[in-house]
């Protein structure tokens, strides 16, 4: 059920309007609402200080601009602090497809460690802020703190699982099942962050949703309309409310066969 985008990691953020005001005010991990995602639990104060010193450089990203681009050399991982991002990949024709939507507390750039250059681009869906994690320094930290290393392996592994779920998703699910899954997935991820799982705003346009789900804009639009007719959701522009989560889950699981 936690298929699609979204690490399974529990990142309990404080509630609040999920616009561009979450995340910690200071640049410190200590006070960051999402530190459970980046750091292993139970670090000592001294360890935390060392980690902060090595990793804590913030960076602002404007809406529609790129955090990194396909082909750029890999140097940093990034933890999303504020805002939403999407990752896109180009295939051999010019086409871009979307590999995931990412919200605060998630890590970006992990797919580039292996090859040394980014195979995907990360685009900000709204003005946002990330925490830059220089990979070379990170490596040194991992050697120093084995529990941190283990934590990092878990994050990488969960990313693998996440991608595998997305495969099932596009491989065997029907259009309505895909869309229902996406809505429920976003819902559960907002819930993990302390936001309402029932009402939220879609940060991406219909075209992005379509390119993520492997569908066309028209199909997405028609399905949203049908879900509304059926009383499953209320939707106005990009603001959506899940009215009947049970039935949505049924659809995602293939109830209508």
Partner DNA sequence: CGGCTTATTGAGTGCGTTCAACCGGTGTGG
Partner DNA sequence: CCACACCGGTTGAACGCACTCAATAAGCCG
Q: What is the DSSP letter of 12?
A: -
Is residue 103 within the footprint of DNA (CB under 7 A)?
Answer: no
Name which of a second copy, DNA, none residue 205 binds, using a CB cut-off of 5 to 8 Å depending on partner kind: DNA
Name which of a second copy, DNA, none residue 224 binds, using a CB cut-off of 5 to 8 Å depending on partner kind: DNA
CB of 238 to a second copy, least distance (A): 22
**Coil, helix or strand at residue 13:** coil
Is residue 149 within the footprint of a second copy (CB under 8 A)?
Answer: yes
**Coil, helix or strand at residue 38:** helix
The only residue of 108, 184, 220, 233 in contact with DNA, by rule CB under 7 A: 220
Q: How far apart are CA 208 and CA 132, in angstroms?
A: 26
Q: Per-residue contact track with a second copy, 73 to 92, x per CB under 8 A?
A: ----------------x-xx
The only residue of 21, 44, 115, 237 in contact with DNA, by rule CB under 7 A: 237
Q: How far apart are CA 18 and CA 20, in angstroms?
A: 6
Q: In what order do the strands lie in the sheet with 128-134?
A: 57-61, 128-134, 76-82, 107-108
Is residue 47 within the footprint of DNA (CB under 7 A)?
Answer: no
Name which of a second copy, DNA, none residue 121 binds, using a CB cut-off of 5 to 8 Å depending on partner kind: none
Q: Of residues 194-213, which lie at the interface with a second copy (CB under 8 A)?
A: 213
Is residue 239 within the footprint of DNA (CB under 7 A)?
Answer: no
Q: How far apart are CA 175 and CA 117, in angstroms?
A: 33
Query: E strands, the chain, where?
Result: 57-61, 66-68, 76-82, 85-90, 96-102, 107-108, 121-124, 128-134, 199-201, 233-236, 239-242
Is residue 186 within the footprint of DNA (CB under 7 A)?
Answer: no
Q: Of residues 121-140, which lie at the interface with a second copy (CB under 8 A)?
A: 139
Is residue 70 within the footprint of a second copy (CB under 8 A)?
Answer: no
211-126-65-6 Cα dihedral, nearest 10 degrees: -50
Rg (CA), the chain: 18
Q: How far apart are CA 242 and CA 197, in angstroms?
A: 8
CB of 205 to DNA, least distance (A): 3
Which residues of this protein are in contact with a second copy, per CB under 8 A?
1, 3, 8, 89, 91-93, 95, 97, 99, 110-115, 119-120, 139, 142-143, 146, 149-150, 152-161, 163-168, 170-172, 213-214, 253-254
């Amino acid at each position: 059920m936690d298929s699609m985008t979204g690490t399974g990691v529990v990142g309990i953020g404080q509630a609040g309007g999920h616009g561009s005001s979450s995340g910690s005010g200071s640049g410190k991990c200590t006070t960051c609402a999402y530190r459970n995602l980046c750091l292993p639990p139970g670090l000592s104060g001294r360890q935390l200080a060392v980690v902060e010193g090595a990793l804590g450089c913030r960076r602002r990203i404007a809406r529609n601009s790129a955090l990194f681009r396909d082909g750029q050399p890999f140097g940093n991982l990034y933890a999303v602090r504020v805002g939403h991002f999407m990752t896109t990949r180009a295939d051999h024709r010019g086409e871009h497809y979307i590999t995931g939507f990412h919200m605060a507390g998630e890590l970006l750039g992990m797919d580039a460690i292996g090859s040394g250059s980014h195979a995907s681009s990360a685009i900000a869906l709204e003005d946002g802020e990330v925490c830059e994690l220089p990979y070379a320094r990170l490596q040194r930290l991992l050697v120093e703190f084995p529990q941190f290393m283990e934590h990092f392996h878990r994050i990488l592994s969960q990313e693998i699982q996440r991608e595998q779920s997305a495969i099932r998703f596009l491989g065997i699910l029907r259009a309505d099942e895909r869309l229902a899954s996406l809505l429920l997935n976003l819902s559960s991820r907002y819930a993990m962050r302390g936001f309402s799982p029932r009402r939220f705003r879609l940060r991406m346009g219909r075209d992005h949703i379509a390119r993520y789900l492997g569908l066309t804009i028209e199909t997405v639009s028609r399905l949203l309309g049908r879900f509304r007719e059926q009383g499953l959701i209320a939707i106005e522009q990009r603001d959506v409310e899940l009215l009947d989560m049970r039935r949505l889950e049924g659809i995602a699981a293939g109830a209508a066969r």
